[in-house]
Amino acid sequence: MIMGVVNVTPDSFSDGGRYLDASVAIEHGLELEAEGAAILDVGGESTRPGAAPVPEDEELRRVIPVIEGLLERGSGVRISIDTYKSGVAARALAAGATMVNDVTALRGDPEMAGLVASAGAEYCLMHMLGEPRTMQRDPHYDDVVNDIKAFLAERMMFAAQAGIGPERILLDPGIGFGKTVAHNLELLSRLDEFLDLGRPVLIGTSRKSFLGRLTGRDVDDRVAATIATCVLAYERGARVFRVHDVAPVRDALTVTAATVSAPWTTPTSTTR
């Protein structure tokens, strides 16, 4: 399943300012849907290291018209709201979103767990070390995979106690959120270990800076690098892919999925 990113922000690290206008963001979301996104993740606040916090009323002003507009224009896919604020999540769910993507894993707002529980929403539980302002300052783990697995397991228990059953949870190790390049690579390489937690794994590598560090490419030129990580993550068991470039990732994952899942069938005849 591909989750297409719809950032309604002036300052997101890769597409800040491009979709700040609601009508442009709606068009963009519909385009990602036509390219094969099964989920649209609408966000009104950047989480990049050092990003400025956005007041709730401004975040609402950015995201609610986009969610409403997508549905008015006939969007038929799931809509996820990328926020840690319960007030924003509540309005987004009322407007038609069905999933909350909260990078604080229920630690950012004490009202979030109760809201998600009572709304019956799906919930993406992501690992982040510290907070966006400081997370990239010398992050340390004893064992990056085991530490993050323990964190996600604890957060799943917390969610369950609040009434969010495990069947509604997606797990995300949080690529780039308080991680060095080496941490990100180890997480990808050992991604299959997260399957022990019994929930689908979501991965967000799209255009991220570790890909720039490895390839020397600017943020707009990291599609090939993003595809490499998605293909590898699929092979290691990830099933939800949060990306900006839906069409090329979809092609790559279609071929990957057809290749790794026996029995092999041929959708259309091919001669070479």
Name the residues annotated as catalytic. Answer: 208, 242
Q: Using CB under 6 A, which residues numbered 16 to 45 contact ligand HH2?
A: 43
Evaluate whether 32 touches 246 at the Cβ level (below 8 Å). yes
What tokens does 47 get? 């989480």
* Per-residue mark of binding to ligand HH2, 88-127 (x: CB under 6 A): -------------x-x--------------------x-x-
Strands 169-172 and 39-43: unpaired
Evaluate whether 5 touches 206 at the Cβ level (below 8 Å). yes
- Based on CB atoms, which residue is closest to ligand HH2, 9 or 229? 9
- Based on CB atoms, which residue is closest to ligand HH2, 169 or 255? 169
Tell me the closest approach of the beta carbon of residue 54 to ligand HH2, in angstroms.
Answer: 11
Among the residue ranges 11-19, 88-96, 155-163, 247-255, the one whose residues contact ligand HH2 (CB under 6 A): 11-19
Asked if 210 interacts with ligand HH2 (CB under 6 A), we say no
Q: Measuring CA to CA, how many Å separate 237 from each of 58, 168, 171, 223, 230?
A: 37, 18, 12, 21, 10
Q: Verify cis geometry, omega within 30 degrees of 0, for the bond prior to 173.
A: no
What tokens does 101 get? 């993507």
Tell me the closest approach of the beta carbon of residue 3 to ligand HH2, in angstroms.
Answer: 8
Residue type at position 135: M
Residues that bind ligand HH2 (CB under 6 A): 5, 7, 9, 12-14, 43, 46-48, 82, 101, 103, 124, 126, 172, 174-175, 202, 204, 242
